[in-house]
Structure 1
């Protein structure tokens, strides 16, 4: 839908697919597979339960051909070293090499009055489906983003097993992985993801992710099946997160399917918070009809808010169809009541987002995909989204060259209050925005990709129905850095989205003028890579920047997981050539350089020293990025989205945690710089400022400022009572003269704190500032200290760690806490820390809460290691 330059309302809601139908279960074990070249028989024969499966191998479903081959140890781990080069690429082998049959035997029967349904939630790319000797799909299925549903009631065996057989063909064309973005670009002729042919953050996925990559579900219902419920909430006016609320309105529709041969009469009902609305329905045979229920008013609703602004309250609800006194089908869900507005900020010249009538400054990250080989799990989704909550972010953008994320991802976002900007599947790199000698076709030809526009639109409509009810879905985006072809974009914007959703802002593409007026020219993205800290404060970039980022290499323990020992060589920077010398395997894993920004801490002695010093740069970069953007909230900017916060492959760039879910200091720099109420230091002009990213006016805050030299001596820079209004940035004072003099010899620590009237610290920020030459000369010669560590178990898999630093010590600087295996001393992953890379001032203590998995083969221990603190291990009792 085309947006005018005045407020429009976007309304969202949470739908958790906790139960599909009366009964439902996944077919996720016991699959077998075989390459097409090994089978001469056709689908009807293979899907007959009597057909012998001698020689067939175990298969991973959901999964891809490569995940099956990896499971069967037929290929090496493509995420390690140069192993990916050892796997044949489909462009060279031909498509038959990765064309596979997948077979599953299962027991199921249909009782009288029951209907049994088979759901395939995602197959890439071309498929035919057979059951017990019969083909289910009339026409061959195409497209990665189309769900398939078949009524299999009449084909089920009354005794014995049923056999499901699916043949899966790769995309066509598969694209030449020639090193370009999306290879030669032709992978984008399909309605599939483009990164599988390679990108600047990943090497090519050799099978282009061919396979049954998403869930296969059996569902049983009565005579009528409920499909694609659509629930919308309206929350008018300006609301506050706390206190009584005016009523909200809920609107419910659903598709009811009658697959039988007779008319069915019954009642559709919706239940929420002790209330029920109903409607009598008559369904003709062999039809599907969309039914609208009467609106329901929810009094004093508990509202859903994004992270940092309020709670993520959810309501359990039930949608049922009953006929002849029997429940035919039930959909159990959870909904979150909230409403979103998107309007134009004339000062910044960009869109601004409001939730329940209150504008929200967007602090986001770009998300590629959870796993490049599509090995998805609820647990991994939960961990990754929780990390983003812990960064104090409030939005994730799902990048266009990948896919529509799975419902389980949105469930995690709903839980943690993370809004989502969902791109569709186009990207400027493949779809013709730029002249590119790596591409097979010219810009005019690429501009028309994909080949089948009707398939794109059918796929978009299907995916909209799948995820439209989640509150974490905040906006739709046509594509990455380019509009979709006009005969795709216009129907999508003007017809499909208004009909199937009608509640969300649609932005034509990720850096469209409708989102962020790009008055600086260029394509509207960046800058990328490591920057001087002052640039984040002084350089005015695009007012709603969809991509800006920096570095993200982990420490040595992270690097050891995927780099062979002989390649654990630290990059070396030459001030003469202003270039880094980098190992070839680091290059293969897309290393993005730190340039001159490591050497001020001292030339790295080895890879461990490099990783340790890289964390200091990581923390500083992302703290300064978010502080700099926040300092210009509502005058320069309405939002910023970091490129990028995670990697679905073992890439050495832009990530707050590595592929194995091990966080690095980027995460905690963001955690600090993005906190809702924050005190900060501007390195460009040496001013101290406050940022309030909440809806509350904060009164009676004491600002305490002091420096601590390298020996641990403190000097007060003053303290003053301050206050700050809601959603506001405020400059307090300059400390330029004091800092310049104190830091000039060997640098200095700057401590900024906000305390409330109870003298509780509500914001704590410690900077390490260089000397007058830009060197961290004092840090290079810091005295080693010992800290006292106290561990208190406060729950299952949860401990409180207190670090105490004696008064006569220097700062105990930049301490990394880890939960490790007691035998190997390797980190247990994932672990969630309330803070990390923490420093403890002389005479003070610091408390950190750790959540860790307890299902380990040996007892976990706590590891502590800092800049000037030797590594130590402690038992967790």
Structure 2
């Protein structure tokens, strides 16, 4: 009896802790402005000073994030017309053999009890030591790999007002799995070192939602029924057990909810299946087709997790209901089907510019060009885009 009473008191204390806190921010802010960079050969100091409020980055270069070091130097006027004649050969390798500093600042208006702050680095080439407000928060022995995504909980280091973020980045070494332009294209002198994909400040309550996925299956005999499976990672960043409510909306017609209890400081994968939720069995679905076979219909998915009626985390994305399968024909060649219908794959190779600096307009024009050529597939050549934009456009325009 006494033990039950203690547990009851602890649960009440936890509820009061969250109930008394103010509303939590649930934001995903891309940190793309105000970046500066400089060679470490020109910066005779360490990260504690570079990432401090009082440090003055004199004579630093403007940095484009996302992008490469060389791309930023070209934009800043250090190297001109590098794609004319043999000018690219005249850009030396030696300036990029030492680490380069990246530095920016961002502002936090208010700090709330239970608020969680994380930094997400979607792509760093190739290794980085990271500091925030003069504190080292990650080392190059763990922050390594161009195609890896890193999410760092920085709540203890965040301050109200101005916050300073600094990275010391080193280029890839021989044998590292780096961005590649294959042997028939010239390698950039900096080996694409830099922050080549986006950086985000993620704000949430004690629980966050990451890595949502959707898996769909279509009744290919009739095309009148589909099954949807949803998944995501819920993470409790607090030292207390959290009892909350997960709500799912798909368009205006499908609404689900599930009570989810999360242990302290733990991640939990949550999967919702059509066997468990009848609403995930969809009649008369609007299917996703490639542009030459039909309309690339998309559904809007919204994921929310709340604690005592207060929103802790939210995630939104679009997806198409489709089923892709393959088969072997009589001659042993592999063919493909989309929603049960045979489809001829007509594809092209996609690669971003050598300086990793495509504009949104250029990406859109490239995808539109593929549609006008009646292609239905794009293959990523050497790497996979600096952000999600190309994938979103392919979804919208009916490209596999």
TM-score, normalised relative to structure 1: 0.41
What's the counterpart of residue 262 of structure 1?
240
Hey, what does 2:212 align to over in structure 1? 229
Summarize deviations over 1:551-575 as a string: whole Å, max 9, x none: xxxxxxxxxxxxxxxxxxxxxxxxx
Q: Name the CA distance, whole Å, in 1 between partners of 2:96 and 2:257.
A: 56
Q: Hey, what's the Cα distance between the residues in 2 that align with 1:355 and 1:393?
A: 15
Residue matched to 2:337: 354
Structure 1 residue 194 and structure 2 residue 180: aligned? Answer: yes
* Residue deviations 1:32-56 (CA, integer Å, cap 9, x gap): 1110111121111211111222222
Contact 2:96 2:190 in 1 (8 A): no
> Alpha-carbon deviation of 1:258?
0.8
1:380 counterpart (329, 343, 362): 362
2:147 alignment counterpart: 145
Structure with max Cα Rg: 1
State the Cα RMSD in Å.
1.6
Q: Is the contact made by 2:180 and 2:383 (CA closer than 8 Å) also made in structure 1?
A: no
The secondary structure found in structure 1 opposite 2:194 is coil
Q: Does 1:26 align with 2:30?
A: yes
The whole-number CA distance in structure 1 between the counterparts of 2:201 and 2:96 is 34
Alignment match of 2:316 (pick from 304, 322, 332): 332
* Contact 1:26-1:217 at 8 Å conserved across structures: yes
Partner of 1:52: 56
* SS of match in other structure, 1:157: coil
Q: Secondary structure at the match of 1:384?
A: helix
Name stretches of at least 5 consecutive residues in structure 2 with no aligned partner: 1-24, 275-279
> What CA deviation, in whole Å up to 9, does each residue of 1:322-341 have, x standing for no partner?
11101111111111101011
- Kindly report which structure 2 residues correspond to 1:152-167, keeping only aligned pairs within 5 A, or say none: 152-158=154-160, 160-167=161-168
DSSP 3-state at the match of 1:85: helix
What is the deviation of 1:314? 0.7
Pairing 1:365–2:348 present: yes
Paired residues, number: 367
Look up the match of 2:203. 220
CA distances 1:247-281 after superposition (whole Å, capped 9, x unpaired): 21110111001111111111112111322122211
1:767 is aligned to none
Which residue is equivalent to 2:86?
82
The alpha carbon displacement at 1:206 in A equals 0.9
Moved over 4 A (4+): none
SS in structure 2 at match of 1:107: strand
1:857 maps to none
Q: Which residue number in structure 2 is paired with residue 291 of structure 1?
A: 270
Shift of 1:157: 1.5
Aligned counterparts of 2:273 and 2:245: Cα–Cα separation in 1: 13
**Where does residue 47 of structure 2 map in the other structure?**
43
SS at match of 2:138: coil
Contact residue 304 and residue 314 of structure 2 kept, 8 A: yes
CA deviations on 1:436-462 (whole Å, 9 max, x unpaired) are xxxxxxxxxxxxxxxxxxxxxxxxxxx
- Which residue number in structure 1 is paired with residue 66 of structure 2? 62
Does the aligned pair in 2 maintain the 1:131–1:165 contact within 8 Å? yes
Question: How far does residue 358 in structure 1 lie from its aligned partner after superposition?
Answer: 0.4
Question: Are 1:281 and 2:272 matched, yes or no?
Answer: no
1:499 is matched with none
Q: CA deviation at 1:94?
A: 6.5
CA contact (8 A) 2:179 2:192 kept: no
1:111 corresponding residue in structure 2: 112
User: In structure 2, do the counterparts of structure 1 residues 79 and 238 end up closer, same or farther at CA, with 3 Å as the change threshold?
Assistant: farther
- The 2-side partners of 1:102 and 1:298 are apart by 48
Whether the aligned pair in 2 keeps the contact of 1:277 and 1:293 (CA below 8 Å) is no
Instruction: State yes or no: 1:203 paired with 2:186.
Output: yes
Corresponding residue of 2:396: 415
Instruction: Name the residue aligned to 2:171.
Output: 170
C-alpha distance after superposition, 1:673-714 (max 9, x if no partner): xxxxxxxxxxxxxxxxxxxxxxxxxxxxxxxxxxxxxxxxxx
Tell me the equivalent position of 1:72.
Answer: 76
Q: 1:94 to 1:163 in 2, by over 3 A?
A: closer
Superposed CA offset, 1:386-412 (max 9, x none): 10001011111223xx11334211111
**TM-score (norm. length: structure 2):** 0.88
2:387 is the alignment partner of 1:404: no
Q: Which of the pair is proportionally richer in strand?
A: 2
**Cα 1:140/1:362, change in 2 over 3 Å:** closer
User: Is the 1:110–1:116 Cα contact (8 Å) retained in structure 2?
Assistant: no
> Using a 3 Å threshold, how does the CA distance of structure 1 residues 94 and 355 change in structure 2: closer, same or farther?
closer
